[in-house]
Structure 1
Amino acid sequence: MRETAHSRKIRFQFLLYSIFIFLSLEVLLRLPYFPSVQFRLEDKKLHCLQTPKNLFSIPWMRLCPNQSLELYHPEKNIRYRVSTDSRGERLTSSNETRSWSSYRIDTPEVWILGDSVALGYLVSDQQTLPWAVHSIFQERKGQLGVRNLGVDALGSFGIQERLSEVLENSSPPLVAYWIYHISDFTDSYRELELQNSLKKRIFVRVSYLLSKYSAVFNTFKIIYEKYKPESRDNLVIPSSGAVLGPDHPHRKAAVSLFEFVKEKKIPLVLVFLPEPNEKYEPVVDSALVKEVRQIAIDSRIPVLDLQQPIYDLWKKNDKEIFIPKDGHPNPALYHFIAEELAKSTRQ
């Protein structure tokens, strides 16, 4: 009996010490000495899980509505501001209000779709692609609304779900530009797993809550990503020959998206940009891009291929077009892309 009581006492003390250490670390890691952890916690204020129909539905990530935050990314030494409206969409104009009810439903719209490239990761609102497109349209084409429907880590199937949501309260746009990014390749696996695995959906919800509120959890994630080789940002997937087989998740998700937009009468245009290599130089026509482009052509989806024009621009000016230490487009490249989109848009 004495041994049992002593054992219980030790376990109880261990539990108390563990709780004390955990809470102490939560306080300590929130100090200014750990800017990477601070960035993770601040960034999570921008990201919300879609309100679920039930706890076991697919947990789609969206931008939180009515936010205006200045963020500092310490590893990349970049400070930027992100603002969203009442619909959870990033602002595309300084004159834009945050109230959903104030939007004019009779204004023709251009939609910019995609992941962090369309969203404008690491650049301020005024430097994003949708903002640049809107500014050009205001100067040259009169009344034309531009909506930033980009969301971090959104794959083909996720874009289809995003469009389904938007169509519940909006008519099809004048044109919708999907800014394709090679990360869609791996996103397709992740989204397929979310569709098929209840455990994965529960795991994502738990992980989201921990990353939103726990400094300790974010610290472990930073350490894990640092030593995970495949976590490098936005680099071309080394490949030769066929990449997407007939049953590949990415091929299936892309075909499904193309069929969906045709059914819903959404004039989708697939936009290709060059990808950065390990030296952050533009690469044109990787094997993956070639195959996705052919899938679009076979599905009779218009393609706007800006790979070579952007490569020629980089070669001619000998200036960086990607954000240093990252691989996302910089503001100068976004402006060039916006000019090209404006040329291809017919009002």
Structure 2
Amino acid sequence: MRKDGKTWDIQTNDLGERVLSEKTKSAKLWFIGDSMAMGYGLPTNETPTYYLLSKYKLESRLLAVDAIGTNGVLKILKESLKSQNQENLPEKIYWIWNPSDFIDDEREKVGIKRYLYPIHYFLAKNSYFYRILLPPPQTNVYTSYGKPILYPKNHITYSNLRKFFSDPLVPKEKLTILFSWGMSKEGYPDTKDRNYEMAKEFFNEQGVKTIDLRTKTELLFKERKPVYIPGDGHPGPALAELFADAIAKHFLNLP
């Protein structure tokens, strides 16, 4: 049950991945990330993977887990790549990224949570009931008073990202980062959050392709489209469809 009273469903396969069908295991388009990519709070027919299939006939594999940080994303990707036969390796990998990683990465390394994290990772990947019990992760509130702070380049997230992009098992040439505006505490696109611009510069410095959907997100919001889940901040169906359209255009080399 969402904060706005609406329900949402989720279907998983034997690997704990959210799926539309069993065909996704051989899909050439992969998603990685956290709740943003997983479609947290969205019913199946409003997720990016659904729009990719219904609009573009593109099967996709969803390797995303709620409330996971950069190291967790890397762990899932590496495990999945190593378990695949050559013919089932992805052609392209898309990461729907959000500054919530600045919070999630700090949680991964603080105190006892550093040792509890592997347990959380296993349960989040394999237990539907555990995922349902998880509280929605903070997505845009980086301080107690609700205003984003600019994280420095020596933050643990940037260190983890350097580790991610330099890992020999990660096919960096296949990777594309997508991002849009997150939701502010007031419910509109958080255009005051400077972390997006700094992160974009960082990705470019690392030689990683990016798709910046911030301007299009603002336009959708001005058109009163359901960009965010009310009272929650995760992507709504309009933003999920925007992600799918951008990915399909890139994957299929459409004009």
Shared fold (TM-score, shorter chain, > 0.5) = yes
8 Å Cα contact 1:178-1:269 kept in structure 2: yes
Deviation string 1:179-212 (CA, Å, 9 cap, x unpaired) is 011210011112234xxx6674258859x99xx9
Q: Which residue of 1 aligns with 2:66?
A: 152
**How far does residue 76 in structure 1 lie from its aligned partner after superposition?**
3.2
Instruction: Show structure 1 runs of 4+ deviating over 6 A.
Output: none
Gaps of 5+ in 1: 1-71, 139-143, 213-217, 223-230
Residue type of the partner of 2:105? Answer: S
C-alpha distance in 1 between matches for 2:148 and 2:241:
30
1:125 aligns with 2:125: no
C-alpha distance in 2 between matches for 1:309 and 1:261:
34
Q: Which residue of 1 aligns with 2:236?
A: 330
Deviation string 1:147-198 (CA, Å, 9 cap, x unpaired) is 11110011111111111110122254111111011210011112234xxx66
C-alpha distance in 2 between matches for 1:314 and 1:84:
31
**1:160 to 1:333, Cα distance in 2 relative to 1, 3 A:** same
**Bigger-Rg structure (1/2):** 1
C-alpha distance in 1 between matches for 2:245 and 2:61:
16
**1:280 to 1:305, Cα distance in 2 relative to 1, 3 A:** same
Residue type of the partner of 2:189? Answer: P
8 Å Cα contact 1:126-1:132 kept in structure 2: yes
C-alpha distance in 1 between matches for 2:225 and 2:164:
35
> Cα RMSD over matched residues?
3.0
8 Å Cα contact 1:173-1:266 kept in structure 2: no
Of 78, 93, 96, the residue aligned with 2:6 is: 78
Deviation string 1:66-90 (CA, Å, 9 cap, x unpaired) is xxxxxx34x4312111110122111
Residue type of the partner of 2:246? Answer: E
**1:135 to 1:285, Cα distance in 2 relative to 1, 3 A:** farther
Q: Which residue of 2 aligns with 1:182?
A: 99
Of 13, 18, 21, the residue aligned with 1:90 is: 18
**How far does residue 244 in structure 1 lie from its aligned partner after superposition?**
1.8
1:244 aligns with 2:152: yes
Compute the TM-score of the two structures, normalised by the length of structure 1.
0.61
Q: Which residue of 1 aligns with 2:33?
A: 114
**1:258 to 1:79, Cα distance in 2 relative to 1, 3 A:** same
C-alpha distance in 2 between matches for 1:199 and 1:333:
32
1:201 aligns with 2:115: yes
**1:261 to 1:176, Cα distance in 2 relative to 1, 3 A:** farther
C-alpha distance in 1 between matches for 2:113 and 2:213:
40
1:168 aligns with 2:78: no
**1:114 to 1:261, Cα distance in 2 relative to 1, 3 A:** farther
Q: Secondary structure at the match of 1:276?
A: coil
Q: Which residue of 2 aligns with 1:34?
A: none
Gaps of 5+ in 2: 128-132
Matches within 5 A, 1:196-275: 200-202=114-116, 205=119, 233-237=138-142, 238-239=147-148, 243-246=151-154, 248-260=155-167, 263-264=170-171, 267-275=174-182
Q: Secondary structure at the match of 1:309?
A: helix
Residue type of the partner of 1:77? Answer: G
Of 187, 193, 209, the residue aligned with 1:302 is: 209
8 Å Cα contact 1:261-1:268 kept in structure 2: no
**How far does residue 234 in structure 1 lie from its aligned partner after superposition?**
2.5
**1:85 to 1:116, Cα distance in 2 relative to 1, 3 A:** same
C-alpha distance in 1 between matches for 2:116 and 2:213:
39
Residue type of the partner of 1:308? Answer: T
Q: Percent identity?
A: 25
Matches within 5 A, 1:23-62: none
C-alpha distance in 1 between matches for 2:64 and 2:190:
23
Compute the TM-score of the two structures, normalised by the length of structure 2.
0.81
Q: Which residue of 1 aligns with 2:130?
A: none
**How far does residue 235 in structure 1 lie from its aligned partner after superposition?**
2.6
Count of equivalent residues: 237
